[in-house]
Structure 1
Amino acid sequence: MESRKTPKADLENKKAIFFEIGLVIALALVFFSFNYKSYKARTVTLIKQQVQNTPEEIVPITEQKVKPPPPPPPKAVTQIKIVNNDVKVNDNVDIDVEADMNTAVSDYVPPEEEDSVPEQHIFMVVEQMPSFPGGMGALMKYLATHIHYPELAKESGIQGRVFINFVVEPDGSISHVKVLRGIGGGCDEEAVRVVKSMPKWIPGKQRGKPVRVSFNLPVKFTLE
């Protein structure tokens, strides 16, 4: 039987080509294996950051109050008492120009002083005490109308009662005004001013006669 294989299908002639291809592939694999780099395995630990939801402590802001400065001390009021000088001076002096060491000189006799008139007694309590015209209600209304609150006392927050002592004269006039207990800040001076400016009172009476009576009056200062 005749073989029908064509010369083109014969692979015997192509052995050298296949050998060379295989050799090239083998050399390529060897070359790749030498150039291959291996890396060590690393263990990566992922740390999870946990946020604590802790409420933040809020420190309250405090306002430090500054104490107001103390009020200045009340000014010392100097009372000037005017005394009537009615003393007569004898200018008629006799001078003896012919006098010598043997001239007798009479003893000096001072003039007799006039008896001083004693000041009328000031009563503390009498049968009929002095009163403001219209009564205590009218007095409180008068004080509230005429008192001007001092600016220093307003700024310093000073309030309270000022106790004033004065003398109601037999004719109803006011004299000898003084502060028994004050609160400062200009309130004492204002209370004295208003008391001195009061109209005449109804004088106190003892045994039916008007007399001098000492009177204490509290003057109240209140901030609204």
Structure 2
Amino acid sequence: MRAKKNPELEIGRNSSLYFAVGLNLMLFISWRALEHKTYEQSNIDIGVVNVTEDMEEDIPVININTPPPPPPPVAIQESIQIVEDVKEIEETVIESTETNQEEAIVEHIIEVSEVEVEEVEEEVEVAFAVIEQVPIFPGCEGLSKFESKECFQLKIQEHVKENFEYPETAVDLGIQGRVSVLFAIDSQGFVTGIRSRGPDRILEKEAERIIGLLPRMTPGMQRNKPVKVSYAVPIFFKLRDG
């Protein structure tokens, strides 16, 4: 029995080859389609470029009339005329002020009576602790040296207590503390040179006011002469609790 088909003409046996060739062909066509570029016709400049030759202009040559250079300066001949010096010049003679041993020096003797010596009394300030005789406070007369010192200090304390007033501003602000007051009793018995140092100027002013009310005293004595005596007193400003 014979086969109905020719084995040499069987197409199915080369199907894999045909498939590979077709696949490569399709890939090539797809690649070329992706790489293909198109341009819009409206964005293309189709103008015509006109090229013309540059025209060379002939520049005429102009002759400029320049003035000639100035002539060289003429040399001036100087004539020197010699004139005889007829006028006599007087020379100034400077006399020397130096003296020699032959010239005598006139001595001017000043008598002692012509010199006036004015004595200036210096005001000596002595501390209260070393004064020979302390200032006498009114009411302390006729006491010994030790008793006069004790009486003076006691009178100062009584005076501070009697004239003490706590400033209202310091009370409102809660200011308190110790104020040291320095002053002096001069040779006339008056209180001078009041200075103070404390926590606030309000308290310092009040302390100076109290010391300024001290009465005139008998001045202190040093070597039987009235002198200026310095003294210091502390004044305490303290607020009461509650």
Q: TM-score range by the shorter chain?
A: 0.3 to 0.5
Higher helix fraction: Structure 1 or Structure 2? 2
Larger Rg: 2
The normalised TM-score by structure 1 is 0.44
